[in-house]
Chains A and B, each alone.
Chain A
């Protein structure tokens, strides 16, 4: 009997190399003759570039080359493409030169590059490049940037408005007219810096004789990078090899094709040697994409019995100075379409203005659009509950979409796959001991102490996604996935996939799937990813898609392997194919389990083909592609319990309960790890994080000294539980779980703090909820 490998929290295959320091991240690679590239970056948020003086620098110790944006353009390197252009929104796509030529548009914008024999000398040389700037007025705020007389970033983009996107369902006007209660709020979903622990790096080795290039790069999607490089470097796609080696976290910030990818290829070409670039953390804060940054004017209409009637919102989404790879899709498709949340909100309307400002470009960051939607919905629901003096758990329960297993259409046009929102909430309430918590809160309130309980009952969209939908919404690629399953003669298996995990554990979970489905010992399965030369075309790891979509392709290949194995077995056992069954790694004749061939027997025979069915191709290898028919919609209920020290404004997180549902679970240990990590990032947004620009668009939070990342001693132990509501979208019934923690936890903690402050009449605070913000609100309320 095979052990229950599917659903087992086995140790990860990834770990041995990681815990011994043997893993190779991009900056670990050293090639013979390799040089280092350093980038000269604009200290101004907006400036004309009058001159770049490089002659003195070129003569410096160890310097192999100094180059400008014009040099790169003349060498045939084009602007960085935007691979997601939302249709029907008058989207403008101004060019994004990898090195700025005439104008620098944000602090950190590259204005020149130097190549030297070591990284210290490269930095010396970069410091010595003299750039003459004519500073221009700059603007950092997205709403302000659309106003009259504001600095214009790009020609042909009047008022800096890149697009105006809308989503509409039902009749919002009528719903608001008929409402008993309306709540309004202005929400700032503040800009965040992703801060993957590994800074970005890129190493290019260009071969002039063959016009081939190999690029090692910290990417979540090497195939996409290869595709885009073929568009902007002039090198044909089949001559580009992109390798994402070990990658130290991404959270969306390593999705884009960045200017530095092109710079190192250009430099390798020009200098005739491999060239490596590694960003410093301060560079990362300026040159790697930021997340979120919405200004949202929102309102919700409800009946006096708590039924939510409508949601209406106007959003200014800050895109930064240029369009990054997926920028326009994040605040639109991945955001506005989820405004129904876990509820049956029949009337929805949102206007989203994507705006250019003199700040670092924004793109996907863990949750990518859904945190901005979930926060909005969960906050408004609490405000309605407060106005109606309803318990926040009760109002949610009242408005939930009732449990469903096979599709539920919402007003925004999406059809969720499956959900049991009330089930998750009930479980969370039981775990929290909700009634006792409210009792404790009442007692503490009598003593003048401030305890708060906050909810976040979410549904989110991930497992990107159906390729037809991708095309329809302007995504410049497909969103299907691929897998090749290959059996060696010795019975060992290699699985080659188009996803590109960087900590999520698919080397383990996909081996678990193969083992569970074909009976191969887990240790006999190797999962290969990240190298475009060793893997089929795929679309990478982001949007919580690796498992829901990737496993679909894997199952497709597994199914083909199983079917072929039956044919081989039938031949070997001289039986009819229809009479061959499979269980636990054995193929046997129906009714005669003693007559069987193992999968290893089949693999050997298929590879040597000595005694083999006529007309059947040798080998035991199958390739499959899976285009999901829908996204998947994980969901859950999180409850946060906080205490606020009214004297200092300090917040202490006492308890955090998370009930999540990602359908069937392959490895519970890995799933929990994703939830833990997600929760911490989301709480980071609520309480500590925030990228701050001043009036002249200077980045004030320029390093980890100012940008407060969560540390181990900020948290209690989280209490986790799962419910399991499978999906019919993919063969295994699995949903994604990589982003749910982040999506859920920001409003859970925010709502908890606001619940704590409710007796003081405080109903609005901007994030992060710093002690000073809380204290000032308390002071104002007391006057």
Chain B
């Protein structure tokens, strides 16, 4: 409940933040604080300095920039869930945000904070990988773009280098016959994803042109079910085809994690069922 002592900084620019990160060894960035502060209160994280990027202008917001959706890293889950821009251009992202935590958590938690934390049970990583999103990071050496499927590398570990800060997430808006669904089985206590499945489908002439199926919650990082995507590509997405695609989940996750609430085997089973349901719902949406 009571964290250790630390120094607190509130930079006004990303460069200032990057410099502070470099200067203070072991320092941590703070945005919404709903991953870092709980850890600090249990003294599982004891940074000597905390760098609050919540006041940096230009890191927050949701806009169409040309043909790309730009989401600032410190945009809250609540704002993403309510965004009229997103509800039109990429509804699955808004709907995912609406399922994170609870109302109060969504008012503080940020998309940048969520993905930088890379919790295996988080929701955004799964969906961003399925959307083929790009993460923009800035550090001492300038800016770089990291594809979502390369961003999450291990348990609570991202591809961010020391001193790098996530500044934005870029997502391609859905085309007219593209739709996505995120289905999750929440842990009854923590509400984190025991299994979370993102299904994105693009239909063309009644056939599935492209499909994306990603599973989170059962492994350190989201798993792309490539075999499912292949099984759907070019085919009519009817019941049996979807069922076949979903059945690829188990083989794609040979070594799932488990806990007292749900074993690894059960998580994979849940993911299979959720995959079927999410794909079915996504196809129906894409048709409509």
Chain A residues with CB under 8 Å of chain B are 119-120, 123-124, 127, 280-282, 647-648, 650, 688, 692, 700-701, 704-709, 714, 770-772, 775-776
Contacts and interface: CB of A to CB of B under 8 A. Distances in A.
A692 B185 contact: no
B260 interface: yes
A772 B189 contact: no
B209 to A, nearest CB: 28
Task: Name the residue in A708, A772, A775 with the highest tally of chain B Cβ atoms < 10 Å from its Cβ.
Answer: A772
B273 interface: yes
A195 to B, nearest CB: 11
Nearest to A770: B261
A772 B43 contact: no
Interface string B168-197: 000000000000000001011110000000
B273 A647 contact: yes
B30 interface: no
A117 to B, nearest CB: 14
B218 to A, nearest CB: 13
Nearest to A118: B2
B266 interface: yes
12 contacts: A124-B2, A124-B5, A127-B43, A280-B1, A648-B270, A688-B188, A705-B189, A706-B190, A708-B187, A771-B266, A772-B262, A776-B266
Contacts of A280: 1
Given A705-B189, A708-B188, A124 B270 contact: no
Contacts of B273: 647-648
A35 to B, nearest CB: 15
A775 B269 contact: yes
Contacts of A120: 2
Contacts of B238: none
Given A705-B190, A706-B260, A775 B266 contact: yes
B189 A707 contact: yes
Given A647-B273, A770-B261, A704 B2 contact: no
Nearest to B261: A770
A142 B193 CA distance: 34
B13 interface: no
Interface in B2-23: 2, 4-5
B214 to A, nearest CB: 19
Nearest to A119: B2
B185 A648 contact: yes
A265 B221 CA distance: 51
Contacts of B107: none
A708 B262 CA distance: 13
Contacts of A704: 189-190
A284 B261 CA distance: 21
Contacts of B259: 706
B68 interface: no
Contact of B189 (A648, A706, A776): A706
B263 interface: yes
B260 A692 contact: yes
Main secondary structure of the interface of A (DSSP, over half): loop
A306 to B, nearest CB: 37
Nearest to B4: A124
Contacts of B43: 127
A709 B1 contact: no
Contacts of B261: 706, 708, 770, 772
Nearest to B41: A280
B189 A709 contact: yes
A776 B270 CA distance: 12
A534 to B, nearest CB: 33
Contacts of A123: 1-2
Contacts of A714: 188
Interface residues of B, number: 20
Interface string B145-185: 00000000000000000000000000000000000000001
Contacts of B260: 692, 700-701, 706
Contacts of B263: 772
Given A127-B43, A708-B189, A772-B263, 13 more contacts: A120-B2, A124-B2, A280-B1, A282-B1, A647-B273, A650-B185, A688-B189, A700-B260, A701-B260, A704-B190, A770-B261, A771-B266, A772-B266
- For the complex of A and B, 5 pairs with smallest distance between CB atoms: A708-B188, A708-B189, A123-B2, A280-B1, A772-B266
B258 to A, nearest CB: 9
Contacts of A772: 261-263, 266
A765 B42 CA distance: 35
Contacts of B1: 123, 280-282
A651 to B, nearest CB: 11
A177 B261 CA distance: 42
A692 B260 CA distance: 8
A124 B6 CA distance: 13
Interface string B29-64: 000000000000011000000000000000000000
A763 to B, nearest CB: 22
Contacts of A776: 266
Contacts of B188: 688, 708, 714
Nearest to A278: B1
A78 to B, nearest CB: 30
Contacts of B185: 648, 650, 771
B28 to A, nearest CB: 19
Nearest to A127: B43
A149 B129 CA distance: 54
B105 to A, nearest CB: 13
Nearest to B43: A127
A282 B38 CA distance: 13
Contacts of A771: 185, 262, 266, 270
Contacts of A705: 189-190
B24 to A, nearest CB: 21
Nearest to B267: A772
Contacts of B2: 119-120, 123-124
A282 B273 CA distance: 35
A217 B2 CA distance: 22
Contacts of A127: 43
A474 to B, nearest CB: 37
A565 B42 CA distance: 63
Nearest to A645: B273
A459 B5 CA distance: 55
A772 B5 CA distance: 42
Task: Name the residue in B4, B187, B189, B262 with the highest tally of chain A Cβ atoms < 10 Å from its Cβ.
Answer: B189
Contacts of A648: 185, 270, 273
Nearest to A704: B189
Task: Name the residue in A701, A705, A709 with the highest tally of chain B Cβ atoms < 10 Å from its Cβ.
Answer: A705
Nearest to B1: A280
Nearest to A773: B266
Interface in B267-282: 269-270, 273
Task: Name the residue in B185, B190, B261, B273 with the highest tally of chain A Cβ atoms < 10 Å from its Cβ.
Answer: B261
Nearest to A701: B260
B260 to A, nearest CB: 5
A704 B189 CA distance: 6
Contacts of A700: 260
Contacts of B266: 771-772, 775-776
Nearest to B263: A772
Nearest to A121: B2
Contacts of A650: 185
Contacts of A708: 187-189, 261
Contacts of B4: 124
Nearest to A776: B266
Contacts of B189: 688, 704-709
Nearest to A38: B2
A282 B44 CA distance: 14
Nearest to A280: B1
Nearest to B277: A647
A772 B185 CA distance: 12
A775 B262 CA distance: 11
A710 to B, nearest CB: 9
A123 B4 CA distance: 9
Contacts of A709: 189
